[in-house]
Amino acid sequence: MNGRALHFYLAGINNQNFLMRDKETGTWWQQITGKAIYGPLKGASLELVLSDELTFGEWKSEFSDGQVLAEVPKYAKEYDSNWEPETAKYPVVISFPGTELKSRDVVVGLEMTGPGRAYPWNTLVKQSPVVDRVNGTPLLVAVGPDGKSFRVFISRIDGKDAEFFLKGETEGEVPTQPDGQTKPEAPAAAKSDPHAEMKAAPAATAPAESKPDASTATKPAAPATPKPWILLDTTTASDWNFQGCAISGPSLGKCLDRVPALKDYWFDWRNYHPDTTIYKR
């Protein structure tokens, strides 16, 4: 704070939200806002550092040589391996019955200039990527390949607003016509020989007892091969990865600016962001 290093420790819980206290001044700080609420530094705010909330698998795929914080052996038995489900069972100490979300609904909250914005998690999972505009700023909110990790970006490429959509999820998709209707593939023989249908006619008179080979009749279809998780922008038609960087196309090598966001329970986010709006689509 103002060039001075502060060291924090857990001091208590306020409205089921973490309270910390610095050793240097004894000031109390609210976790979700980073603001000092009591003590010599009351009114001050800590600078928010961009961070990620990712599954270990997603993080490891991006940082294969990354290091993981090890548990402290003497406290190993005190770590709760099922913390979130257990916490969700507790009654909340503050609620907002006039709102459309339930107290324990999970949201992704972010702050821009002006009122904040809350994105219901269930909506994000179903609609990702979400392109939104908050207080004049175009945003891209994306749930990652694992369906659990998320990131928020400013949806601009070279200063121009852009929209994004997720490319096809599986190989071998049915081709479509310009009107969006599915177009069935013609049999291979019909493509190469216009008389193939006539040549195949005798097969219809094959003996009734003739049966297809059992090895082929019972062989299950090969599963579709998943495609990599890739976003496509409508401005430059470039491909983008979950880090928000273009991996092919005219924008190759460029990256979108990140926006800090927090995954939180609705009652907690709403309590500290009373003017927040809720994303609806």
Is the pLDDT at 219 greater than 90? The verdict is no
Q: 43 or 184: whose pLDDT is higher?
A: 43
The DSSP line for 58-76 is HHHHH-TT---PPPPGGGG
| pLDDT for the residue numbered 179 | 39
Averaged pLDDT score across all residues of the chain: 82
- CA 77 to each of CA 71, 72, 88, 186, 268: distance values in angstroms, whole numbers, following the listed order: 10, 10, 21, 63, 28
Q: Is 178 inside any structural domain? A: no
**What percent of the chain is modeled with pLDDT above 90?**
55
CA 149 – CA 130 distance, rounded (Å): 14
Tens of pLDDT, residues 102-152: 999 999 999 888 889 999 999 999 999 999 999 999 999 999 999 999 999
Q: What is the CATH number of the domain that holds 94?
A: 2.102.10
What mean pLDDT comes out for the span 26-50?
92
Is the pLDDT at 56 greater than 80? The verdict is yes
Q: Is 265 inside any structural domain? A: yes
Is the pLDDT at 183 greater than 60? The verdict is no
- Identify the helix (H) or strand (E) that includes residue 153: strand 150-154
Is residue 143 located within the same domain as residue 35?
no
Of 31, 90, 104, the closest CA to residue 272 belongs to 31
Three-state DSSP state, 41: coil
CA 236 – CA 157 distance, rounded (Å): 8
Is residue 40 located within the same domain as residue 61?
no
Q: Is 101 inside any structural domain? A: yes
Is residue 32 located within the same domain as residue 110?
no
Is residue 2 located within the same domain as residue 96?
no
Is residue 133 located within the same domain as residue 260?
yes
Is residue 38 located within the same domain as residue 85?
no
Give residue 14's pLDDT band: very low, low, confident or very high (50, 70, 90): confident
Q: Is 210 inside any structural domain? A: no
Tens of pLDDT, residues 156-168: 999 999 999 998 6
Is residue 136 located within the same domain as residue 32?
no
Domain count, the chain: 2
Burial of 7 (0-12, 13-18, 19+ CB in 10 A): exposed
Is residue 25 located within the same domain as residue 136?
no
Q: 152 or 32: whose pLDDT is higher?
A: 152
Q: 263 or 48: whose pLDDT is higher?
A: 263
| pLDDT for the residue numbered 80 | 78
Q: Is 126 inside any structural domain? A: yes
Task: Supply the range of the domain harboring residue 27.
Answer: 1-47
Tens of pLDDT, residues 222-280: 565 556 899 999 999 999 999 999 999 999 999 999 999 999 999 999 999 999 999 98
Q: Is 193 inside any structural domain? A: no
Handedness of CA 150, 132, 117, 48 (dihedral sign): positive
Is residue 83 located within the same domain as residue 152?
yes
Q: Is 94 inside any structural domain? A: yes
| pLDDT for the residue numbered 89 | 81
Is residue 148 located within the same domain as residue 242?
yes
Tens of pLDDT, residues 165-179: 998 654 344 333 333
Is residue 7 located within the same domain as residue 118?
no
Is residue 145 located within the same domain as residue 34?
no
Amino acid letter, 231: L
Q: Is 97 inside any structural domain? A: yes
Handedness of CA 106, 110, 64, 122 (dihedral sign): positive
Is the pLDDT at 193 greater than 60? The verdict is no
